[in-house]
Structure 1
Amino acid sequence: MFTVDDLTTALQVTLSDLEFNKSIIARGVDFNDLICAPPSSGWFGADEEGKRIVKVECFSSQNTPNFYMRPIEGLTVTVDVDRKEIVKITDTGRGIPIPKATNTDYRYTSSPFSDMTPLTNPMSMEQPKGPSFTVENGHIVKWANWVFHLKPDIRAGMIISQAKIRAENGEYRSVMYKGFASELFVPYMDPDESWYFKSYMDAGEFGLGATAMALLELNDCPRHAYYMDGVFASADGRPVIQPNMICIFERYSGDIGWRHSEIPVLGFDIRESRPKVTLVARMAASVGNYDYIFDWEFQTDGLIRIKVGLTGMLMVKGTPYENIYNIFNANDMTGTLVSENVIGVVHDHFVSFHLDMDIDGANNSFAKVNLVKENTLPGQSPRRSYLKAKRKVAKTENDAKIKLKLYDPSEFHVFNPSKRSRLGNPTGYKIIPGGNAASLLDLDDPPQIRGAFTNNQIWVTPHNKTEEWAGGLLVSQSKGDDTLAVWSARNREIENKDIVLWYTLGFHHIPCQEDFPVMPTVSSSFELKPVNFFDRNPIMGATPTFQKDLPVCSASRSY
């Protein structure tokens, strides 16, 4: 990862350069309003060999804290941080105006909110007996039938490990040895001189934990949340504390755990329902302009939901256009005009998760369960076709490289071939993809070579303690020679082995006006769900909620 010293050096070298300062003056920017940020440079060939390169780009903060919406377009400084010298200055955008600050301030205390802004009354979940979870020794979380270890991490943000769930006989059974966000790849889709290199590896280059800011009580996390600090070592070895970096809380939003009612005409008067209460571990990383919200949500039925939310600011490009009717050639646009003189450039987000599953022990296998259409025989049935589930166990890594396809419906199981249920089925968990996106870049495009873990949505590898970071251990200016794709190309055996499941969650983002000046959160998720792990529904014995169990509350006004 880049250190604070690296980034500070890049800024100092830039701000002391005469050519750079002349360009800032020529653009009419007051140096008191100048904000410069050092984005990573990626890897684009031999010209960068032997140099530790940082790019520097600048903005104007005049009349707004949201400087990201006021880029100084076309001015990019390439700095060698080891030699403390400028390698190149690109200055091509002097004719492009700096976007105005109007309507860019997003702070509650400063923004003039319209009377038409949607408002709701404040609400919270009350827990008169307090939370149902405990945190022992600062890291061991116990809740309902779950126990797991939770640790802040400077690179991954947070790591869930030793996740176990209690069976009906009281025994705690292993589900996952370790799970975390391994890498976050964000390539922008603009070939211009000041944009082509923008293809960030946010975990490996900046650190999801290093960029995690303190969570805001009642807004980032609800009442009764437990907060955990991150304690990391800085580049010089001194401890750094990230306060309130992770929160843990119980969630109830009116969802149903299970229910069934019988129609009275059949002679049964049955209405049974159980509320769904879950436990969430959350952290948020502010990696420059973007904020990433990571939730690990545990359910009493054994399901784990992993969700990623995107919010914060777009990375925008300055343009002379104020309206789409002024654009002479729409093909030159690499994004949407989201405000006057502001283009929201098309980009992707890919989050690769390292999931070291240990279903009832370390040695597991991976199976793809396909739904296959079968045709009936003549005269066999009024039906012409039906579906059957066909299971294929992966022998090697190549067998487990999965590209998700809507018209090839499948389930993906991690199971223990040596552990059987009461009925003889192998105990397991399945990964259930949610909304997803695949990389469309050429495989030999330099950003895609570095982000080759996005070539598939699912991978399975044998456990190797040196293979934890999907983009490689050392990501800054990496050439893509130490990625998940490189490791998996060895096609090692994975049947009945200590294996790691990898899942890449993707977003294609075509910006729109509603993303300006700060984005509403957009989320996607996937699930890890028991499959023949329990002998029956594990929450059959869940207790319904009765009015007497709840605190007596009254509204502050009548309607």
Structure 2
Amino acid sequence: MGLKRTWRGSEGPRDPLLLRVGVKSLKALPSQIPETLGDTIGKYYSLQIQKAEPWQQFIQKARIWGDRWIREVRPKVTLVVRMAASVANYDYIVDWEFQTDGLIRIKVGLSGILMVKGTAYDNINQIPNQENLYGTLLSENVIGVIHDHYVTFHLDMEIDGSDNSFVQVNIKKEQTSAGESPRKSYLKAVRNVAKTEKDAQIKLKLYDPSEFHVINPSKKTRVGNPVGYKVVPSGTAASLLDLEDPPQKRGAFTNNQIWVTPYNRSEQWAGGLFVYQSQGEDTLATWSDRDRSIENKDIVVWYTLGFHHIPCQEDFPIMPTVSSSFDLKPVNFFESNPILRTRPNVDNDLPVCKPAASG
């Protein structure tokens, strides 16, 4: 919640709950902002409580004179394609969300029955300090085991055609010269086109910020930018296992979060055709180490979404769903904001619940 100015039915849901807000005045005296000011266009100065779901694409307001405002708001409409699968004791929910601004969000939710093992302990006070449970005591005689989950996506991008390139855009600091400016530093973008597969083996680093673009060098906007989409990571995880550990050799696709390979019909499964008991000889990592050319080629981007799971008591006996996601976002793919072509909603467009039948 926060201090929010809202027009009912446009900037917020149709029936938001509005609360009065206590604030300090410019003289540091306590004052209260009422729910409404009672003017003709129904402005509200308030805290707003609403469902935690996206609903607006953009808001633009401009004061023209006095207390009159011009506002532009567009609704966010999302088409969701959902797939749910039960894999052993876990349930996986994969949502592909197609949004009207061109963004595609891929979200993975995990639920199901936790992997557990037995123990003689029924209270943590019984556990010797030197003993590691490799998990959490969840209930009497039950330990939830620490583990990870990795879901790898095969993304045949085809940005406005087959011949694409992968570009890592590094954000760098540039120091100013003495006396050049009151500022000490600026930010600049350094673009590096990946020539071969090893150039596109990416480990995400917060301290080395980058963007990851897939572009079509032969297709340009009217001002000359190559059209493209970018992979936008969110919360993810990297494997901590030894590279020679048998599970890690079979799951070597988790060694990086992003890989790029040339399209090959026989290379569709990151873990190979036969994962269990393999020695990792047929995995994404093996294919990528061939270091084939990927510049201006029909390429595939592989993104691995990872979860570390240290169980807690709320996960037992059945887990609430936890989710993470990543985005595919247009970058110079459109000439301008595509939402400008969307009609603004009016009150009659908003959903109204009505009884299906009258008795």
TM, length-normalised to structure 2:
0.82
Question: Are residues 1:288 and 2:93 paired?
Answer: no
Question: Are residues 1:522 and 2:355 paired?
Answer: no
| Number of the residue aligned with 1:332 | 132
Question: Are residues 1:350 and 2:350 paired?
Answer: no
Q: Which amino acid aligns with 1:291?
A: D
Question: Are residues 1:439 and 2:246 paired?
Answer: no
Deviation of 1:527 after TM superposition, in Å, equals: 0.4
Q: Where do residues 291-302 of structure 1 align in structure 2 (5 Å cutoff)?
A: 291-302=91-102
Question: Are residues 1:423 and 2:230 paired?
Answer: no
Q: Is the 8 A contact 1:254 1:275 kept in 2?
A: no
| Number of the residue aligned with 2:175 | 375
What do the CA deviations read for 1:489-515 (whole angstroms, capped 9, x no partner)?
110000000100000000000000110
| 2:249 match: secondary structure | helix
Q: Where do residues 121-200 of structure 1 align in structure 2 (5 Å cutoff)?
A: none
What do the CA deviations read for 1:280-316 (whole angstroms, capped 9, x no partner)?
0101111121111000110111111001000111110
| Number of the residue aligned with 2:120 | 320
Identity fraction in percent: 70
Q: Which amino acid aligns with 1:392?
A: N
Q: Which amino acid aligns with 2:299?
A: I
| Number of the residue aligned with 1:405 | 205
Change (3 A) 1:402 1:268: farther
Aligned partners of 1:449 and 1:254: how far apart in 2? 40
Which of 260, 276, 279 matches 1:476? 276
Aligned partners of 1:495 and 1:541: how far apart in 2? 34
| 1:490 match: secondary structure | coil
Deviation of 1:549 after TM superposition, in Å, equals: 2.6
Question: Are residues 1:449 and 2:249 paired?
Answer: yes
Change (3 A) 1:410 1:264: same
Which of 58, 63, 78 matches 1:258? 58
Change (3 A) 1:375 1:294: same
Which of 304, 307, 313 matches 1:513? 313
Q: Is the 8 A contact 1:462 1:500 kept in 2?
A: yes
What do the CA deviations read for 1:511-551 (whole angstroms, capped 9, x no partner)?
00110111111000000000000000011121222122345
Q: Is the 8 A contact 2:74 2:339 kept in 1?
A: no
Aligned partners of 2:144 and 2:162: how far apart in 1? 46
Q: Is the 8 A contact 1:345 1:510 kept in 2?
A: yes
What do the CA deviations read for 1:48-74 (whole angstroms, capped 9, x no partner)?
xxxxxxxxxxxxxxxxxxxxxxxxxxx
| Number of the residue aligned with 1:8 | none
Deviation of 1:330 after TM superposition, in Å, equals: 5.0
Q: Is the 8 A contact 2:216 2:228 kept in 1?
A: yes
Aligned partners of 2:353 and 2:299: how far apart in 1? 51
Which of 524, 528, 533 matches 2:333? 533
Question: Are residues 1:275 and 2:75 paired?
Answer: yes
Deviation of 1:451 after TM superposition, in Å, equals: 0.4
Change (3 A) 1:509 1:378: same
Aligned partners of 1:456 and 1:287: how far apart in 2? 23
Deviation of 1:266 after TM superposition, in Å, equals: 8.0
Aligned partners of 2:130 and 2:59: how far apart in 1? 53
Which of 294, 310, 321 matches 1:494? 294
| 1:540 match: secondary structure | helix
Aligned CA RMSD, in angstroms, stands at 2.1
Choose between structure 1 and 2 for higher RCO, CA contacts under 8 A separated by at least 6 residues.
Answer: 2
Change (3 A) 1:435 1:551: closer
Stretches of structure 2 lacking an aligned partner (at least 5 in a row): 1-12, 14-51
Aligned partners of 1:536 and 1:289: how far apart in 2? 46
TM, length-normalised to structure 1:
0.53
Deviation of 1:397 after TM superposition, in Å, equals: 0.5
Q: Is the 8 A contact 1:365 1:499 kept in 2?
A: yes
| 2:340 match: secondary structure | coil
Aligned partners of 2:57 and 2:118: how far apart in 1? 49
Deviation of 1:262 after TM superposition, in Å, equals: 2.1
Change (3 A) 1:254 1:524: closer
Q: Is the 8 A contact 1:421 1:532 kept in 2?
A: yes
Q: Is the 8 A contact 1:364 1:414 kept in 2?
A: yes
Change (3 A) 1:504 1:552: closer
What is the number of residues matched between the two proteins?
307
